[in-house]
Structure 1
Amino acid sequence: MALDKDTEEMLAALNMHSVSELFSDIPEPIRSGISGLENGKSEQNVRNHIEKILEKNVSMNRMSSFLGGGAYDTYVPSAVKSIVGRSEFLTSYTPYQPETSQGLLQVLWEYQSMMCELTGMEVINNSMYDYATGLGEAALMAARIGKGKIFLIPETISWPRQSVLENYCRGPGIELVKYAYDRETGQADMVDFESKLTDDVFGALLETPNCLGVLETGADEMRQTLGDKILVAGVNALSLAVVRPPGDYGADIVVSEGQMLGNFPNYGGPMLGIMGCKKKHVRKMPGRVIGLTTDIEGRTAFCMTLQTREQHIRREKATSNICSNEALTTVATAAYLALSGGSGLRESAIYTMKKSRELANAISSVRACTAPVFSGPNFSEFVARFPIKSTELIEKMVKNGVIPGVEMAIEDMENSLLVAVSDRTTDDEIRKYAQALKEVLK
């Protein structure tokens, strides 16, 4: 193919002879293989073409979905969508100019205030990307505060979260050591935990509910066992409307996922990483903190009080490189919390727990099925065991209009699924799950 003059000049500057050399680092098997595109189409034809492609997607409104594992199909009030759709809020860009961003800054400050109340923590930052990246940042933060090179994590941690955490810890040389879980309750094995607690451990992660859906009842014991080491609590944000917040049992750092509070699952994003800490650790925390102040005329004003990004302060003192963050999903969560109020959150949480128990009972009523597998208390999800492989069960249940849950990436759980409900789950959907299960296992 003949090259135009501009292309030839650019290739010469790069010391290359062909355009294909630009892509030589990409393995052949994963290249797109596109060789020549069709002529342009009209807007209407393009729309029709794209809509045909989109029809291949399965909407949660067309099937009964019981997926969880970090992203949840919770109800989003129409008012939330209207608020975040306003041009004043429709951005994740950093509000560097406070004189022109008072509305957005106030919403972000209100978010921090409401989240502090929900978690019981003294400080909440203005978002990380999601739970997993928040967890990675929490491990780095704990390492800055404590002494040692080992961070204890539960054996039940999900592989996506573990993968992100490993990436964060690789550079600083932090070693991740797992502590076991009780095979009956699904909760942390405190005997094993204590045996792993060496002098080189600087902190530990307690997830409640954990990735088996089980709420931990030993948070106080873990806090006491750790002594002055750092306790990082990974929590379900909605569950805090009905269970003890991490601030109550002395967590130093908290991480959570805010997607369930006013945001849609959307193929797993955009999410909202919630992160907070005790006030004494605030200067070790990444991200930004919005503060309440007054302007030169004495009027109430809002500004970014802490900005620990490496481009804002001396690089060696920076604790973060996050810039354009999850401000838009933060606004959505702030709107959701304000619209729901404490009573609304409790109502959603109680409804969710109730439907979780009802679904577990419905599954257990089917021959050779067990739910929940573990005896520890649950919030919105639980592990269910079936008499056939989970991959086979999912394939057959989907044909019956039900997405039955998430496969378990844990040893000896190939016949199990993590099954979740939300405040959108109905009695009809629970009956549909049980009926589809009976059909599949006939």
Structure 2
Amino acid sequence: MTSPQDSAHTYTHPYIPNAVPAVRQAMLEEIGAAGVEDFYADIPDGIRLHRPLDLPAPLRSEAELTRHMEGLLGRNTSTRQALSFLGSGCYQHHVPAVVDEVVNRSEFLTAYAGEPYEDHGRFQALWEYQSMMAELLDVEVVNVPVYDGFQAAGTALRMAGRITGRRRVLVATAIDGDKLSRIRDYVRPDHDVTVVPVDPGTGCADLDAVRDALAAGDTAAVYADTPSALGIVDEALPRLAELAHEAGALYVMGCNPLTLGVLAPPSALGADIACGDIQPLGLHQSFGGGNAGFIATRDEERLVAEYPSRLFGLVPTAVEGEYGFGDVAYERTSFALREEGKEWVGTAAALHGIGAGVYLALMGPQGMREIGETILALTAYARRRLAEVPGIEVPYGDALHFADFTVRCTGGRTAAEIRTGLKERGIFGGVPTGEQEAAYCVTEVHTKADIDRLAATLEEIVK
């Protein structure tokens, strides 16, 4: 077998058609390049590698490659193979079979981009998704999904910064560490992020501390999550909106859309911009990769003008009285403005939007209410049942929780040790949030027996 290191000019990679020497040479001649090195002439010599990447030789047959990939994938253990109580942003929910049936249709699965005149079905499907999300969120405008909820939060905060012309972002509720890191990365260098610690006794927003932080008058947005990273639905959310608006800031709220069959939407709590992840709406966990983010606002020009991502709507056609589906206010996007765009937007997670649209259509208002009530009831039972385990505390007892909740280990074992013990017994335990604390989660896929098994196993480990 000839390796690329031995003969870089004659080697043909089995997976890359353009590696065929004759094809590569024809392409170089067509554009007038002497060699592939011409493409890298602008890269400073000091940061170039000057050697081939240290990669294994490619497997040359499909059978070998299939066996290799199956071996790698076989090392994973999914949440369908073990009893899982993991949440914190990627949740185990039942995905109706019809969702997979629709999103795996070739006309959706393979449609990367397109324009209204050539891709009517995909554009209409996304318009239907946006319409149902708008109804769920009680707003008029929802974007085509971006990469994930973390990016949606970062973009929503950048939108607030552009509208207000201010620099600081204030986080008022408990926030997931990974999410906070992503937000900080996404809004810099234009914005600074200040996290106001929550009340340690209640886990809820500290209104006095938020008021003090707003006194400087430089805040672009107050950000809150519902439920928070602690799983708490904070009663102070409407008051945070008042404080933000009194200070001339916008109020941005992240939310789990699956709660909205039983809880008030962000718009009803005073939010100017809502954002979040649609993963709970019929998207598989995909080992942590099944995410897509939404942004939602009122149909207000100053808000809509700051969306960097695509918006689909009904647009008139050349035939009077007929309408089609297409981009709305296309001129504000980076697709139209290129380097002058407010914010670059790359590949959308549009396929996930179609999946979420199918899920919402299947569930309907009554289904969303029933699943929300089920999760609230199971969360309450899990918190009450685990609190009975010696050596385990479940703090923030008076607060309403949805899906996620905190477990505090007081029996001498650390949260990481308990998680390891659970894994050895076929249970995925909580995500450690401190030495003695972890975030656990239940959804509609869990049963009372599942929760009782978790409690009994914790008692066995902790004692």
Please report the TM-score for the alignment, with normalisation by the length of structure 2.
0.85
Q: Residue 122 of structure 1 aligns with which residue?
A: 140
Is it true that 1:210 corresponds to 2:228 in the alignment? yes
Contact 1:121 1:246 in 2 (8 A): no
Q: Residue 414 of structure 2 aligns with which residue?
A: 389
> Secondary structure at 1:349's aligned position in 2?
helix
Q: Residue 293 of structure 1 aligns with which residue?
A: 315
Question: In structure 2, do the counterparts of structure 1 residues 12 and 115 end up closer, same or farther at CA, with 3 Å as the change threshold?
Answer: closer
Q: Residue 380 of structure 1 aligns with which residue?
A: 403
Partner Cα separation in structure 2 for residue 64 and residue 361 of structure 1: 19
Alignment-mate amino acid for residue 179 of structure 1: V
Alignment-mate amino acid for residue 99 of structure 2: V
Question: In structure 2, do the counterparts of structure 1 residues 136 and 42 end up closer, same or farther at CA, with 3 Å as the change threshold?
Answer: closer
Contact 1:186 1:375 in 2 (8 A): no
- Offset of residue 46 of structure 1: 4.1
- Offset of residue 6 of structure 1: 6.3
Contact 2:391 2:462 in 1 (8 A): no
Is it true that 1:309 corresponds to 2:333 in the alignment? yes
Alignment-mate amino acid for residue 292 of structure 1: L
Q: Residue 71 of structure 2 aligns with which residue?
A: 52
- Offset of residue 299 of structure 1: 2.7
| CA offset digits 1:92-133 (Å, max 9, x no partner) | 6233x2122221111111111111111122211111211111
> Secondary structure at 1:23's aligned position in 2?
coil
- Offset of residue 315 of structure 1: 4.2
Alignment-mate amino acid for residue 187 of structure 1: C
- Offset of residue 324 of structure 1: 2.5
Partner Cα separation in structure 1 for residue 192 and residue 150 of structure 2: 17
- Offset of residue 191 of structure 1: 0.5
Partner Cα separation in structure 2 for residue 25 and residue 231 of structure 1: 51
Contact 1:259 1:272 in 2 (8 A): yes
Contact 2:59 2:65 in 1 (8 A): no
Is it true that 1:438 corresponds to 2:455 in the alignment? no
Contact 2:308 2:334 in 1 (8 A): no
Comparing 203-212 with 45-54, greater Cα deviation is found at: 45-54
- Offset of residue 428 of structure 1: 2.3
Q: Residue 71 of structure 1 aligns with which residue?
A: 90
Match of 1:329 among 331, 334, 352: 352
Alignment-mate amino acid for residue 183 of structure 1: P
Is it true that 1:250 corresponds to 2:270 in the alignment? yes
Contact 2:145 2:352 in 1 (8 A): no
Partner Cα separation in structure 2 for residue 129 and residue 189 of structure 1: 31
Q: Residue 275 of structure 1 aligns with which residue?
A: 295
Comparing 187-196 with 213-222, greater Cα deviation is found at: 213-222
Question: In structure 2, do the counterparts of structure 1 residues 147 and 6 end up closer, same or farther at CA, with 3 Å as the change threshold?
Answer: same
Is it true that 1:266 corresponds to 2:291 in the alignment? no
Contact 2:313 2:327 in 1 (8 A): yes
Contact 2:229 2:404 in 1 (8 A): no
Partner Cα separation in structure 2 for residue 145 and residue 39 of structure 1: 53
Q: Residue 368 of structure 1 aligns with which residue?
A: 391
Q: Residue 427 of structure 1 aligns with which residue?
A: 448
Question: In structure 2, do the counterparts of structure 1 residues 331 and 5 end up closer, same or farther at CA, with 3 Å as the change threshold?
Answer: closer
- Offset of residue 364 of structure 1: 1.1
Alignment-mate amino acid for residue 113 of structure 2: T
Question: In structure 2, do the counterparts of structure 1 residues 141 and 4 end up closer, same or farther at CA, with 3 Å as the change threshold?
Answer: closer
| CA offset digits 1:213-271 (Å, max 9, x no partner) | 11111122111112242000111111111111111122111111101101011122141
Partner Cα separation in structure 1 for residue 343 and residue 37 of structure 2: 39
- Offset of residue 274 of structure 1: 0.9
- Offset of residue 372 of structure 1: 4.1
- Offset of residue 25 of structure 1: 9.7
Is it true that 1:193 corresponds to 2:210 in the alignment? yes
Partner Cα separation in structure 2 for residue 285 and residue 10 of structure 1: 42
Comparing 77-86 with 211-220, greater Cα deviation is found at: 211-220
- Offset of residue 137 of structure 1: 0.7
Partner Cα separation in structure 2 for residue 374 and residue 200 of structure 1: 35
Question: In structure 2, do the counterparts of structure 1 residues 2 and 338 end up closer, same or farther at CA, with 3 Å as the change threshold?
Answer: closer
Partner Cα separation in structure 2 for residue 223 and residue 255 of structure 1: 15
Q: Residue 177 of structure 1 aligns with which residue?
A: 194
Partner Cα separation in structure 1 for residue 73 and residue 51 of structure 2: 31
> Secondary structure at 2:175's aligned position in 1?
coil
Q: Residue 146 of structure 1 aligns with which residue?
A: 164
Contact 1:252 1:278 in 2 (8 A): yes
Alignment-mate amino acid for residue 75 of structure 2: K
Identical counterparts, % of pairs: 27
Alignment-mate amino acid for residue 351 of structure 1: T
Question: In structure 2, do the counterparts of structure 1 residues 192 and 396 end up closer, same or farther at CA, with 3 Å as the change threshold?
Answer: same
> Secondary structure at 2:450's aligned position in 1?
helix
Is it true that 1:160 corresponds to 2:178 in the alignment? yes
> Secondary structure at 1:312's aligned position in 2?
helix
Question: In structure 2, do the counterparts of structure 1 residues 39 and 377 end up closer, same or farther at CA, with 3 Å as the change threshold?
Answer: closer
Alignment-mate amino acid for residue 49 of structure 2: F
Partner Cα separation in structure 1 for residue 286 and residue 322 of structure 2: 40
| CA offset digits 1:334-356 (Å, max 9, x no partner) | 00000110111111111111111
Contact 1:76 1:262 in 2 (8 A): yes
- Offset of residue 301 of structure 1: 1.4
Q: Residue 239 of structure 2 aligns with which residue?
A: 221
Comparing 69-78 with 139-148, greater Cα deviation is found at: 139-148
- Provide structure 2 residue ranges, at least 5 long, that are not aligned to the other structure: 12-33, 42-46
- Across the aligned residues of Structure 1 and Structure 2, the Cα RMSD in angstroms comes to 2.4
Alignment-mate amino acid for residue 331 of structure 1: I
Match of 1:414 among 421, 424, 435: 435
Partner Cα separation in structure 2 for residue 92 and residue 39 of structure 1: 29
Partner Cα separation in structure 2 for residue 417 and residue 304 of structure 1: 44
Alignment-mate amino acid for residue 198 of structure 2: Y
Contact 2:173 2:224 in 1 (8 A): no
Number of positions where the alignment pairs a residue of Structure 1 with one of Structure 2: 423
Q: Residue 18 of structure 1 aligns with which residue?
A: none
